[in-house]
Structure 1
Amino acid sequence: MTAPPQRKFDLEGYRAVAALVVIIFHAYQHNRYGTWWTWPLEGSLWHDVLMNTDMLVDMFFILSGFLLGLPYAKAALGDRKPRPARAFLLRRAVRLIPLYMIAVLIVWAISNPVLPGDWRDLLLHLTFTHVWSDDKIFYTNGPAWTLGVEAHFYLLLAALGAIGQRYLPPMESRRKRIVVMVAVLFGLIAISLGYKFWAVYVRGFPVEGWSIWFNPAAKLDIFAVGMLLAVAAAAGVRWPNAAVRTLVGLTGGAVVALGVWLRYAHLPDTFTHTFFGTGIMLVIAATALSTGRGPYWLRWPPMLSLSMVSYSLYIWHEPLLRALDSAGLLPTPAGGAGAFLVTAAVLLGASVPVAYLSYWMIEVPAQRIMGAFDADGRSREYYAPLPEPRSA
């Protein structure tokens, strides 16, 4: 059975929501105060809600695994032309690197006004290896750790995709190709869970060992769960009606709730994120594998617009938070809930316009780099001789 034609996925709203929630959480985190870093809403339900919004970062990895893995899954099943690793990595580099490098260099230069500065920090960030450093993983630009992880995932996906496209299509059975892909992805999940078990129960790394809990190995299971959704979509899995779609979405919500309950039951956070990622994948699957349109809010024009600039919104908001605080434009954290709400409003008010400016001035021009390459990622021959005109 071949996969049915796929309409455009209505997933943009998810990315916009994740970026906005991350900004609100960082505004909340900024308003801790006192010797014991008291949270402004501590002891309330809203505090518990905000403290669990970190799960939405997993949504970025799920969406990447799904959307980037889908073309490779289709090619491995023989349903589309193979995708050269060179072209894939070039497109990801053009999408990720220009804005990332500009942001890192600007923030680093401001933070290191006297040379030579912290060159180790700069080198780690420019090579996306800060995710392996406890003291630098959240330095310079805290949210950039996810981009370091994503860069590792792109290399892994390019390698797996190249192997899958070469060796799976010759298999006589479509079912076998699907089984092999699913087995490989469950293997990646098992490797990640095994790494986490080793880190928690064998080595007993401390909670503050940030590079242990936020490196690519610790997040590999979440990325692989997103790729499982890509395999399901490529294989032709579709929900037959709205009732099934709703049931899948509710199941995803229940899995997320289970992850929250296990967190409060003291399951190590590195494992609760596996539940969060699985639940989020099911919520996204309710829309992605539906034969009908999903909720309107996912394609609501303002949400689509924010999704368009979500990368810029995500990468600039923390430097802006620090700049606003240094300029004295934010309330004193000890102001409690009111200070948090004002901080969130000011940060959003500054971040959204900057994100649109960044998108049109950095992201859009960077995308034009692809014009110098063909669909296979090779340089275009602009000066090749023109063909001889046909004789009449």
Structure 2
Amino acid sequence: MSEHPPEIRESVVPQPPERKFRGRIRGLDGPRGIACMAILAVHVVGHYSPDTAASGKLQLLGQALIFFFALSGFLLFLPIVRDLFLAKTSQPDIRAYAIHRALRIFPAYLLIFLITNYVLQASFVDNAQKTLTVGSDSGTGMITDVWSLLANLTLVQTYFPSLIQTGINPAWSLSLEIAFYVSLPFFGALMFALHRRRGWSPFASAMVAPVALIVLGSVGKVFASWLSNRDGITDVIEQNFGPNWAAVVLRSFLGGSDAFAFGMIAVVLFVAVGTGNIGPAAARRIRLWSIIALFPSLLVMLVLLIVQSNFQVTATSLASGLIILIIVLPLAEGKDSKLADWLDWKPFEYLGRISLSIYLWHFPLLMVLGRWGLMAGDNWGGLFRNFLLLSAASILCGAVTYQYVERPAVNYARKFKSR
């Protein structure tokens, strides 16, 4: 690291206008779209071309999901950090925030789940890790049990060993997202209290939240390891996705909170640069060291994956936070970012915009396309054909639900303005 840490100035620099931190931040929608397609790829090739995927080490693409969490940490923590650095008296309106978050997730999820369950009958009735076999749609059907149905409709299935990985099995990530949503207003209240009542600087107050999530996630992973040892579970996939308490912990906020933390640290630095609390020279050093640190963080991630450590999530989140910083730091200074412009190439940007719907559609469609005999075999030609077919189906369905469900819901949510 540099011998000279970033210079942090709390009160001598005039505050910039708020508009710098409002609206869309260039360079982040495109990576979201790329990450979504990487997740789709790892699922389709792992299910229909497992030997080919293994030979090409394509399972690594699954790490893209952690980027989603880090990006959520960045974008959702931004309004709170912005108001803290701009000397507002309190965090943004919690009621408007809650309405925005609910309407962002549930309309699209509920529609896709209901179609998956009752029309396609491609919901996982029991735990997917236990019932699904490679190349088939085993374990899928229509959920009729009232308790299981209610749990999936409310996205709490992940908190029960008997229900984890039922319904749309990748939807466990939405349960984790919702837990993060709930935590943010509490962290916001704590940050403003530390700043007003204890005299902590905005920088120090804002860093409390991500540090707490790193600690919480680490404790959760250690606890999950203890649970696995107690129950004699040695298979790493079963530890993470099986019908057991270790999987509940790892897929919940207790074991997964650190996935958001480094995106939150990135936004603290982004706002500090944008408000002048970190000067231009220090900002350039931060970006340079982020580029340098990205390579060892990816190496650590690979090592932890090889040894099957659950702390690979932490390393991947760190790498994701560094990537976000590399993209957006020039924008905080009001400069152009060629990387941001390239990543927001229109096709990438559009995929990012509809990524929630693509993500929810792709696994049910993966099951149905195989059920209809449309998926090819385990070779490179079949792999590319399967990826292209599932991508086309998922993007088409995702575009429809985005246009007629997600977008209207988000537009309606904008009526509930936060200050």
* TM-score, normalization by structure 2: 0.78
- For 1:248, the aligned partner's letter is S
Contact 2:261 2:317 in 1 (8 A): no
1:197 aligns with 2:242: no
User: Offset at 1:304?
Assistant: 1.4
User: Offset at 1:254?
Assistant: 2.6
User: Any idea what SS the aligned residue of 1:348 has?
Assistant: helix
Contact 2:103 2:410 in 1 (8 A): yes
User: Any idea what SS the aligned residue of 2:373 has?
Assistant: coil
CA deviation profile, 1:264-283 (whole Å, cap 9, x unmatched) = 2x151x11111011011111
User: Any idea what SS the aligned residue of 1:136 has?
Assistant: coil
Sort the Cα spacing of 1:172 and 1:258 in 2 relative to 1 into closer, same or farther, 3 A.
closer
1:39 aligns with 2:51: yes
Report the Cα distance in structure 2 between the residues aligned to 1:358 and 1:314, rounded to whole angstroms: 12
Report the Cα distance in structure 2 between the residues aligned to 1:135 and 1:106, rounded to whole angstroms: 23
User: Offset at 1:171?
Assistant: 4.9
Sort the Cα spacing of 1:257 and 1:98 in 2 relative to 1 into closer, same or farther, 3 A.
same
The residue aligned with 1:140 is 167
User: Offset at 1:147?
Assistant: 0.8
CA deviation profile, 1:338-365 (whole Å, cap 9, x unmatched) = 2222111111121112211111111122
Contact 2:81 2:271 in 1 (8 A): yes
CA deviation profile, 1:323-342 (whole Å, cap 9, x unmatched) = 211222212x4x33322221
1:309 pairs with one of 343, 348, 354:
354
- For 1:170, the aligned partner's letter is R
Contact 2:27 2:342 in 1 (8 A): no
Report the Cα distance in structure 2 between the residues aligned to 1:247 and 1:232, rounded to whole angstroms: 13
The residue aligned with 2:30 is 13
Report the Cα distance in structure 1 between the residues aligned to 2:317 and 2:327, rounded to whole angstroms: 16
User: Offset at 1:54?
Assistant: 1.7
1:352 pairs with one of 378, 392, 395:
395
1:180 aligns with 2:217: no
CA deviation profile, 1:151-210 (whole Å, cap 9, x unmatched) = 111001122223434x1442585x633223323431221122012112214652633132
1:67 pairs with one of 75, 83, 86:
75
Report the Cα distance in structure 1 between the residues aligned to 2:279 and 2:315, rounded to whole angstroms: 23
Identity in percent: 25
1:91 aligns with 2:100: yes
The residue aligned with 1:384 is none
Sort the Cα spacing of 1:276 and 1:12 in 2 relative to 1 into closer, same or farther, 3 A.
same
2:196 pairs with one of 140, 151, 170:
170
Report the Cα distance in structure 2 between the residues aligned to 1:363 and 1:134, rounded to whole angstroms: 31
Report the Cα distance in structure 2 between the residues aligned to 1:358 and 1:202, rounded to whole angstroms: 40
Report the Cα distance in structure 2 between the residues aligned to 1:261 and 1:271, rounded to whole angstroms: 10
User: Any idea what SS the aligned residue of 1:39 has?
Assistant: helix
- For 2:364, the aligned partner's letter is P
Report the Cα distance in structure 1 between the residues aligned to 2:80 and 2:418, rounded to whole angstroms: 15
The residue aligned with 2:325 is 285
Report the Cα distance in structure 2 between the residues aligned to 1:163 and 1:123, rounded to whole angstroms: 33
User: Offset at 1:141?
Assistant: 1.0
Greater Cα offset, 246-255 or 98-107:
246-255
- For 1:357, the aligned partner's letter is V
Structure 2: any 5+ residue segments left out of the alignment? Answer: 1-8, 124-139, 242-247
**RMSD of aligned residue pairs (Cα, Å):** 2.7
Sort the Cα spacing of 1:87 and 1:280 in 2 relative to 1 into closer, same or farther, 3 A.
same
User: Offset at 1:63?
Assistant: 0.7
2:257 pairs with one of 209, 214, 220:
220
Report the Cα distance in structure 2 between the residues aligned to 1:121 and 1:149, rounded to whole angstroms: 18
1:334-345 matches, cutoff 5 A = 335-345=378-388
The residue aligned with 1:385 is none
Greater Cα offset, 233-242 or 363-372:
233-242
- For 2:221, the aligned partner's letter is K
The residue aligned with 1:155 is 182
Sort the Cα spacing of 1:65 and 1:239 in 2 relative to 1 into closer, same or farther, 3 A.
farther
Report the Cα distance in structure 1 between the residues aligned to 2:171 and 2:94, rounded to whole angstroms: 24
User: Any idea what SS the aligned residue of 2:325 has?
Assistant: helix
Larger radius of gyration: 1
Aligned length: 361
- For 2:164, the aligned partner's letter is I
Contact 1:95 1:363 in 2 (8 A): yes
User: Any idea what SS the aligned residue of 2:201 has?
Assistant: helix
CA deviation profile, 1:248-289 (whole Å, cap 9, x unmatched) = 23422330222102322x151x11111011011111111122
The residue aligned with 1:361 is 404
1:259 aligns with 2:301: yes
User: Offset at 1:239?
Assistant: 6.3
Sort the Cα spacing of 1:253 and 1:119 in 2 relative to 1 into closer, same or farther, 3 A.
farther
Contact 1:55 1:277 in 2 (8 A): no
Contact 1:249 1:284 in 2 (8 A): no
Contact 2:117 2:142 in 1 (8 A): no
User: Any idea what SS the aligned residue of 2:196 has?
Assistant: coil
1:216-255 matches, cutoff 5 A = 216-236=253-273, 237=278, 240=281, 245-255=287-297
1:311-330 matches, cutoff 5 A = 311-330=356-375
